[in-house]
A and B are shown apart, each in its own frame.
Chain A
C-alpha cells in the first residue's frame, strides 16, 4: 500500500472553496471536451459566453433578471434547510405568489404605489397559504415535507395554466395563452432590471442577518442541527418549523410576484421557468448559509445566462441543464473529497519478514 486517504473531521471554508473551484473548473473542462468532440470551437464559445453574459450590457441586465428570482427561491429553500426541512415546493409557491399578485393587479385598479405593495402582500399571503398545509403536516404530524411540497408544485403549475387560458384569459388585446397585461409594473432602474433586483439582494442580506444574528435564527439553527437538543432547551421547534416554512413560502411567492410584475407582466403557464427548482440547486450550493446564497445564485444565473448564449450556437436547452447537473455533481463530489487528505504510508512489511 503506497498511499491512502484519511478523512478530516472538519473542512475549513478555504479548503472547501478551493475544492469547489476545482470542481467548477473540472465541469468546465468536461464541457469543453464534449464541445470540442462535437466539432465546436470551445474557445470561440467561451469568448462568446463571456462577452455576451458579462461583457455586454444586455448580458448583465439578463444576469440581474435571472438573479432576482434565484436569490429569493434560493433563500427560500435555504431558510427551511436551516431547520432541517426541505422545501421542494418553491416552484409551486412561486406560482401561488404570481397568481395572488396577478389577481390584485388585474382586478384592483389603482395607482402603482398602492397596487404594487398590495400585489406583493397578496402574493406572499398566497405563497404562505400554499405551503401552509405541508408546513402544518410537517410540524404537527411529521409528514415528510419533500413529498407534499413537491406534489403541490404540479397543482400550482396547472392552476396557473388554467387561470391563464380559462377564467383570467386575456379578452382585450387578444395575445397569447395568458392573462391580460398587468396595468402596473415594477419600475425599472437599469434597462430591463427592475426594483425587484435590489430588493431581492436586500432581502437575502436581511435573511443572513436574521438567521445568524437573531434569537429566532439561533433557535432555527439549533432546531435544524438537533431537534432533541432544541426541545431540551425549550425551543418551540414546531412553531419554528412552521415559521421557517411560511417564511420560505413567502419568499418564493415574492419571487413569483417580481417575475410577473417586473419581467413577464402577464400570468401564464410555465411562468416559473423552474426557478423554484433552481432555488434548490442554489440552496445546495449555499450549504445552509443565506450569505452564500449570493454567490450560489450568481453562479446559477451565470449558467442560465450562458445557456441562453449557447442556445444561439445550436446547443439545446437540455445541454444547459446537463451542464448545470454536471457542475452540481462535481461540486457534490468535491465537497466530499475535501474531507479527505492523501497520506503516504510506509510500506508495511509482512509479519513473516519481520519475525526473526
Chain B
C-alpha cells in the first residue's frame, strides 16, 4: 500500500539541492552570502553536558559523501570523549527535516550540524531556537545562530585535470555527472581548465545520469564515454562503477569523496578527497568554549579537500607537474582567471579577471570544450 519510502526523497540529494540553489543565484540576483553576521556569543558549555547533533542526507555507510562526514563525527567523539553526539541518517528533504532538527533541539543539543543543504527546513528551526548553534553544509544564509560551510573542491579537480591533460592520448576526457548543477559545472570546468592548461587540445564530454548513486547508469555512461574515445574518465559519483569500466578497458579514471583505488588499481589516478574532521572538531570546540560565531566558511585545498595520493600507474613527471600547481594553489594562487569562454564561445571571464570562491560556488555554465551539459 505504501509504495514509497516514508521520507519521499525525490530530490533529497544534497548536491542537487546545492546546485539548483546556486543555479538560481547565477542569475545574479543573489548576492554572495554574508560571510559573517553580527550576533551575540552563545554561552560556553561543559563538555560533559554537551550534545552535538548531525543530520545526514544519506546513510553513513554510503561509501562516499556521508561516510566522509561521519568520519568527522568520529573525530569529534575522539576529541571530546565526554561529549555526546547523535545523528540521523537519510534526513529527507521535506517537513520531516524540520521535525528532525526540532527533535535535536528537544533532546537538548547545543549544536546542530546539517551535512547537506536543508534551507528553510533548518532555518525554521534555528529561528525558533536562538540558543542553539546551527551549521549547514552548502547553505546560503547566515543568521544570528546559523552558519554554513562548503569545500572548494574545484581546486583539487583542477590539479587532477592537469594530470588528465598530460595522460590522455585521445585528448578526450569523459565526465559522469548527476545533474547540470553548480557542483558539476565547477567539477567539469575545473578538470578541463586544468587539462587545457597543459594540453589545449583536450575536450570533455559529460553525461548526466540524474543520480548520485546509480552504479548501473554510471557503468553505462562510462562505457558510452569510452566508446566515444575518451581515455580518461572523471565525475562526481558516490560509488566506483566507472572506475571499474576504466579498469576493464585499460583507460584511466579519477574519482570523488575518498580513496577508491582498490576498485581499479591500474586505472586509478586520484580522487577529490574530502575531510571534515578538523573543521568539525574546531566548530565544536568553539561552541564549547563559547566563542562560536555563525559564518560562511570554505574549506580550502589541503584543509578539508585535496587530491588523493596518486595512483601507481601515474607517471612521476605527471604527478610532479600536477603537484606543482597544487603547491601554488595552496600558497594562494587562483588558477580560475580570464579569459574564460563558455561552451557557446561567449567570453564570460575577461582577461585578468579572477573568479573568487563565491563566484565558483554558483557556477552555472560550462566552459568552452565541454559538451553534454547544456
- A contact residues vs B (CB 8 Å cutoff): 48, 52, 56, 58-59, 61-62, 65, 88, 157, 161, 164-165, 169-178, 181, 191-192, 259, 263-266, 268-274, 277-278, 280-281, 304-305, 307-309, 311-314, 316-318, 320-321, 325
In the A-B complex, the 8 residue pairs with the closest CB atoms: A270-B8, A174-B24, A269-B10, A174-B25, A174-B30, A176-B119, A58-B106, A175-B119
Q: Are B124 and A274 in contact (CB under 8 A)?
A: no
Given contacts A175-B120, A277-B3, A312-B100, contact A272 B8 (CB under 8 A): yes
B-chain residues with CB within 8 Å of residue A62 when the two chains form the complex: 99, 102-103
Range of interface residues on B (Cβ < 8 Å)? 35 or more
Shortest distance from the beta carbon of A213 to any chain B beta carbon, whole Å: 31
What CA separation (Å) do A325 and B5 show in the bound complex? 13
Q: Are B93 and A268 in contact (CB under 8 A)?
A: yes
- Please tell me which one of the listed residues B2, B6, B119 contacts residue A307 in the complex, with CB atoms under 8 A apart: B6
What CA separation (Å) do A191 and B124 show in the bound complex? 11
A-chain residues with CB within 8 Å of residue B6 when the two chains form the complex: 273-274, 304, 307, 317-318, 320-321
B-chain residues with CB within 8 Å of residue A305 when the two chains form the complex: 99
What CA separation (Å) do A170 and B92 show in the bound complex? 20
What CA separation (Å) do A58 and B102 show in the bound complex? 7
Q: Are B87 and A174 in contact (CB under 8 A)?
A: no
Given contacts A157-B10, A174-B22, contact A316 B90 (CB under 8 A): yes
- B contact residues vs A (CB 8 Å cutoff): 1-12, 16-17, 20-25, 27, 29-30, 53, 59, 86-90, 92-96, 98-100, 102-107, 117, 119-120, 124, 128, 140
- Please tell me which one of the listed residues B21, B23, B99 contacts residue A308 in the complex, with CB atoms under 8 A apart: B99
Given contacts A273-B8, A309-B103, A311-B88, contact A176 B20 (CB under 8 A): yes
Q: Are B11 and A52 in contact (CB under 8 A)?
A: no
Shortest distance from the beta carbon of B239 to any chain A beta carbon, whole Å: 20
Residue of A nearest to B141 (CB): A175
Residue of B nearest to A61 (CB): B102
Q: Are B11 and A270 in contact (CB under 8 A)?
A: yes
A-chain residues with CB within 8 Å of residue B3 when the two chains form the complex: 277
What CA separation (Å) do A259 and B99 show in the bound complex? 14
A-chain residues with CB within 8 Å of residue B17 when the two chains form the complex: 176-177
Shortest distance from the beta carbon of A58 to any chain B beta carbon, whole Å: 4
Q: Are B93 and A165 in contact (CB under 8 A)?
A: no
What CA separation (Å) do A15 and B94 show in the bound complex? 40
Q: Are B90 and A169 in contact (CB under 8 A)?
A: no
What CA separation (Å) do A269 and B92 show in the bound complex? 11
What CA separation (Å) do A304 and B94 show in the bound complex? 14
